[in-house]
Amino acid sequence: MSDFDFDLFVIGGGSGGVRAARVAAGETGAKVGLAEEDRYGGTCVIRGCVPKKLMVFASGYPEKVAEAQAYGWDMTSGDFNWDHFHGKLAAELDRLEGIYRKLLAGSGVETFDARAKVVDAHTVELSTGERKTAKHILLAMGGRPTMPDIPGAELAISSNEIFHLPKLPKNILIVGGGYIASEFAGVMNGLGVKTTQFYRGAQILRGFDDEARGLIAEEMIQKGVDLHLGTNVLEMKKVDDGIWVKATNGSEHVFDHVMFATGRKPNTDDMGLEEVGVKLGRKGEVLVDEYSQTAVPSIYAIGDATDRVNLTPVAIREGMAFVETVFKGNPTPVDHELIPSAVFTQPEYGTIGLSEEAAREQEPIEVYATSFKPMQSSFAGCSDRVLMKLIVSQANRKVLGVHIVAPAAGEMIQLAGIAVKMGATKEDFDRVVAVHPVMAEELVTMRNPTRTG
């Protein structure tokens, strides 16, 4: 009989925490408790990738209708009914949260709808006043959007609130240049909202491949997003007809809504972590080793709370590796190498491996790239362009990076990612017969490098 109430206590009911709790309880018979102060499913399911992707889908239909007309269909798009969509969205998120709760219950996990903080290496205290002891504690609290320190910032919304607007605004300012800001600029523009985007840097999507970033920005502007680079907000104030915004370039505008997507922060405030010896980084992230163990041996951390690779499937992988290590006696370090990802901008971007710039700093490379008008939109008279790009090592011929800017780029990169993770060379790609006519055939038909260096 254990001296503890639980073998494992998980703080956080998001994707990573729920997976770790379920697998530990269901597959190893561990006695598991889990506390969640908000809704089960975490950022991804409740206020992130799932509702965001549904909004991306919704915002793409006007363009599809215009394309259909060009193909000879007699149809009109009409107006977007935000109330209808929003009602269905709320019901879908409720359904998904219910599934998460059922999965936990079905695995035998005891759940607590409360905030939890750490009291010592083996004890958590709930906001109900109860204390629970556990042999192991797993921190999986995720992260949250941060707001800038400028006059009037409290008037703005973050990506959390964008899903719950009472009505669709006529216009919106989105501040930021990362994937969240750029995705929502495309979404709101597609839904018929006059959309302005400010980014203080020289180009959106910092850290991604420069050629891909440039094409996405150009296409966004073509589609109607009013993108201002090298521009930030100085101050905001409430006026009769909305929110007055003064920009660093001296311009002044009034918007119905202002959304900041200028960064996220781990949810580690007021958790008692440093008091018990858990070390935190500069941004408040939990510092862990390759096995997700903190400076306190009984306490582990996964997901956005650690600010390693802040993606839902990564948090899930980290949760699985934790269970393998701690409950299955199979020490499993987390593999953060060559993670494919998709950015649901319009156009969509799929990427794995190194950007051209990062690869060039590392070693001599060859770049194979082609940009063209895809058959479907070209026939409809659209000017949309796509990009297919391979970064190849001159030394060993391995494909170091793949970059796809195109409709369904996320679907394509998932499959290209398998090859890259396996260590495929350019010649491996070349040996594959092309599927014709599809956009992705370009990945296996590019014979001559566009540049080397």
d(C-alpha 117, C-alpha 397), whole Å? 50
End-to-end CA distance of the chain: 64
d(C-alpha 192, C-alpha 20), whole Å? 41
d(C-alpha 352, C-alpha 401), whole Å? 6
Known catalytic residue at 228: no
Neighbour-count burial for 306-332, b at 16+ CB within 10 Å, e otherwise: bbbbbbbebbbbbbbbbbbbbbeeeeb
d(C-alpha 377, C-alpha 383), whole Å? 7
Written as one letter, the residue type at 390 is L
d(C-alpha 102, C-alpha 81), whole Å? 32
Contact, 142 vs 302, CB < 8 A?
Answer: no
d(C-alpha 362, C-alpha 445), whole Å? 26
Which of the following is catalytic: 228, 336, 403, 436?
A: 436
> Quick one: three-class SS letters along 33-59?
EEECCCCCEHHHHHHCHHHHHHHHHHH
Residue with tokens 């909004």: 55
Q: Which residues contact 195 (CB under 8 A, 6 or more apart)?
A: 171, 172, 174, 185, 188, 189, 224, 225, 226
Q: Which SS3 state, helix, strand or coil, does residue 101 take?
A: helix
Question: Which residues are catalytic, by number?
Answer: 436
